[in-house]
Amino acid sequence: MNSGALFLLLWVVILGVLVWVGYRGLQNNRLKSAGVLGIGIPLFILLCAMCLWRHGPSSASDSAPTVVIPTAALAAPDLAARLLDGNVILTGTLPDQETKNKVLARAKELYGEGKFVDNLEISNSRALPNADWVPKALTLLPLATQANNEGGIALDAKSVTVKGLVDSDEAKAKLIAEATKNAGANIAVIDNVLVKGKITAAQTADFQARLNQMIAGKIVEFETGKDIITPRGKEILDQMVQVLGQVPGIPVEVSGHTDARGAAAMNVDLSQRRAAACRKYLIEKGVAGERLSAKGYGANKPIADNNTPEGLQKNRRIEFTVVKEAK
């Protein structure tokens, strides 16, 4: 109850007291008493009714205020275009259908009907950072097909990341120069382009560290004795998809390992099937198949003691290893 309702209620109580006092003071004069009651009681009821009408519960439409989110509080849109097996995959979140239609029309013009996949989303929690963002996005879309498989761009409010594997230093320089020209002065260009055959030891080590960090302390689980990945195992592989996408083009070996129990040949076979199942799942989730290989090692590369339950569990694992030289 707010302060206005309390104030009115107080006056109603005071009025009621006055009527009662008047009644008691005039009880020897029934005519005057009746007059006071005839006026006071209806007035008392009227004021109560007014109080309830003015301050009683209101409808949902009256009580729920309209919330207006300031434009400055909205997130900026994002747009990514990535080449995968001959098609361009469009992802990101845009502020409205009009913006999405412009992107799709440009994609159709650039890549051709049926040569791109629309995974774009729309959210009213997004707002264009400025009037130039959409035109800039449209001029950057051609870059998605200028690197090898898995190359592309990722654009947000302030930067565009260009990534992929190209065949020469000249191809990389041309790609970055075009990105810088099309992005303009207000959008920074982040260069994540690698040159085929010139990936340095430091770059390889950095990528391997990312893979190791992602898988550390986690086990890609399978059904017992089978190559069927469990839901929990798929969750881990989904995270690995994100890491693999950070450095496209670099080949990675998916290796399967078992504990020492059982026949050696059966263990090698099971580990190979499990590694192949992981490779297949990663490809289905958008990793280029040409960069992934699968190999089963059985129990030949233990990382823990096979004589303890803990050691057996650690040895049953899937690993991801960067192949030194890009194909």
- In a domain, residue 239? The reply is yes
Q: Provide mean pLDDT across the span 216-244.
A: 94
- In a domain, residue 20? The reply is yes
The one-letter amino acid code at 106 reads: R
Total domains present in the chain: 3
Cα separation, 8 vs 22, whole angstroms: 21
Confidence band for 74, pLDDT divided at 50, 70 and 90 = confident
pLDDT of residue 44: 54
| 114 has pLDDT over 60 | yes
Q: How many Å from the N-terminal Cα to the C-terminal Cα in the chain?
A: 74
| pLDDT tens-digit readout, 3-12 | 555 555 555 5
pLDDT of residue 199: 87
% of the chain residues with pLDDT over 70: 77
- In a domain, residue 101? The reply is yes
Residues 51 and 134 in one domain: no
Residues 32 and 127 in one domain: no
| 205 has pLDDT over 80 | yes
- In a domain, residue 307? The reply is yes
Average pLDDT over the chain, rounded to an integer? 84
Residues 185 and 167 in one domain: yes
Among candidate residues 161, 195, 229, the one where a domain is terminated? 195
Residues 161 and 209 in one domain: no
Surface-to-core class of residue 322, CB atoms within 10 Å of its CB (0-12 exposed, 13-18 middle, 19+ buried): buried
Residues 105 and 138 in one domain: yes
Q: Three-class SS of residue 86?
A: coil
- In a domain, residue 327? The reply is no
Residues 227 and 269 in one domain: yes
% of the chain residues with pLDDT over 90: 67
Cα separation, 246 vs 86, whole angstroms: 19
| 28 has pLDDT over 80 | no
Tokens 């030194």: give the residue.
Answer: 324
Alpha helices, H only, 2-153: 3-25, 30-55, 60-63, 97-111, 133-140
Residues 136 and 216 in one domain: no
Residues 80 and 122 in one domain: yes
Residues 316 and 264 in one domain: yes
Residues 105 and 140 in one domain: yes
pLDDT of residue 68: 42
- In a domain, residue 88? The reply is yes
| 323 has pLDDT over 70 | yes
- In a domain, residue 148? The reply is yes
| pLDDT tens-digit readout, 121-175 | 999 999 999 999 999 999 999 999 999 889 999 999 999 999 999 999 999 999 9
* CATH classification at residue 89: 3.40.1520.20
pLDDT of residue 210: 94
pLDDT of residue 6: 53
Q: Name the residue range of residue 130's domain.
A: 71-195
Residues 180 and 222 in one domain: no
| 63 has pLDDT over 80 | no
pLDDT of residue 264: 94
Among candidate residues 176, 195, 214, the one where a domain is terminated? 195
* CATH classification at residue 235: 3.30.1330.60
- In a domain, residue 266? The reply is yes
| 60 has pLDDT over 50 | no
Surface-to-core class of residue 176, CB atoms within 10 Å of its CB (0-12 exposed, 13-18 middle, 19+ buried): middle
| 49 has pLDDT over 60 | no
Among candidate residues 39, 63, 87, the one where a domain is terminated? 63
Residues 189 and 75 in one domain: yes
